A and B are shown apart, each in its own frame.
Chain A
């Protein structure tokens, strides 16, 4: 379970990115929706400890994201919005193996497990291909594989289908549907949000709607229509 206990984020100049959010997330698929600048990414960055709350706390499976940051990062995988920034090695096999090597696995075992993960995602034949030659969807899948190889309990995906064409969008969504982990998905893709178990609507750094995906997405659409 992920618990936000009056969690807030305020910048040194006084700008508030997140306002005293209190949530408990235990559903298998949680969508976080809202306009640009509404606080979606700030909210989910708290889960992995990438951003520390300036007020309140965030607890992941009993672990504080500030005091137990390393342990939290082992339980929560994070797939960034820009896959290019997440892929740090020249080829998919090396990149997926990186996290395994950092966890103490030998180079041979890390490569073997990396290849197995890539094959499951349908990317085994691209394991040694230069990453900059992959399509956007393939890069997102490689980034997801890099996280999956570490077997986290939770996976946060920040706009996983933004900028993808229909084919690549479908590939990424199909890959996500097959995952056993709990997912927290930031998305502008309202069709994707409607397929989740729960949706959280953000606006101006606060949660303005939370619950079943259908009504929450409708509330978002109504707000946009009014504007």
Chain B
């Protein structure tokens, strides 16, 4: 799953402000975890799926986004089953999938730019200086970009490893990936420098109120 996979659309969910979606995500997720009833988890999961599909996101996109969570869920259930706690495993799996599905719903219908802009407004409301707000937003944007890029790098490294017949070699995956990550970090640092992003002489405009 990439963190910046936005599915364009004009639905009411797309138009809902990023801040509202994020607050709702946190609140509902907290409720799912706090209310120890499987029916709640299942209900939230089904509602979130219906929500996402209802605003036009194709099933294949939804399935692709949820696949990593499905793998983790299977491992979770297997571990719990191994110690004789099937029921707890399924309850935990239900909670995880429900929360993940809500997060996917937010990711697919919210532009990363809107997420970052909301963060800037919150930090500005907390009376942080404009330059600090800008840098916090930059850090978040950079993190999203880095995760996407390194995800692509990891896939390439896995392909290369497979091509060399080294599927079992952790080193053949770890070393190139770490080197690529270090190169990316270095390159990004230079790019920011070349674009004058770290220029202390230029004031940064305050974040604007949401319309």
A residues at B contact (CB < 8 Å): 48, 50, 70, 73-74, 77-78, 80, 82, 84-91, 93-94, 97-99, 101-108, 111, 128-132, 146-147, 150
Contact = CB atoms under 8 A, between A and B. Distances in A.
A53 to B, nearest CB: 17
A50 B184 contact: no
10 smallest A-B Cβ distances: which pairs? Answer: A85-B187, A90-B4, A86-B191, A90-B112, A78-B194, A102-B197, A90-B144, A106-B205, A89-B141, A132-B148
Nearest to A125: B8
B194 A101 contact: no
B138 to A, nearest CB: 7
B29 to A, nearest CB: 23
B199 A70 contact: yes
B192 A106 contact: no
B130 to A, nearest CB: 9
B207 interface: yes
B84 interface: no
Nearest to B192: A88
A104 B204 CA distance: 4
Interface of B: 2-6, 8, 111-113, 116-117, 120, 134, 138, 141-142, 144-145, 148-149, 151-152, 183-184, 186-188, 190-197, 199, 201-208
Contacts of A88: 138, 141-142, 145, 188, 191-192
A70 B195 contact: no
A132 B2 contact: yes
Contacts of A94: 112-113, 116, 141
A88 B112 CA distance: 13
Contact of A130 (B5, B141, B192, B207): B5
A185 B142 CA distance: 28
Contacts of B148: 90, 130-132
A89 B206 CA distance: 19
A85 B149 CA distance: 9
B204 A102 contact: yes
Contact of B113 (A104, A106, A111): A111
Given A77-B194, A106-B208, A132-B152, 9 more contacts: A50-B194, A88-B141, A89-B145, A91-B4, A91-B111, A94-B112, A101-B205, A103-B196, A105-B205
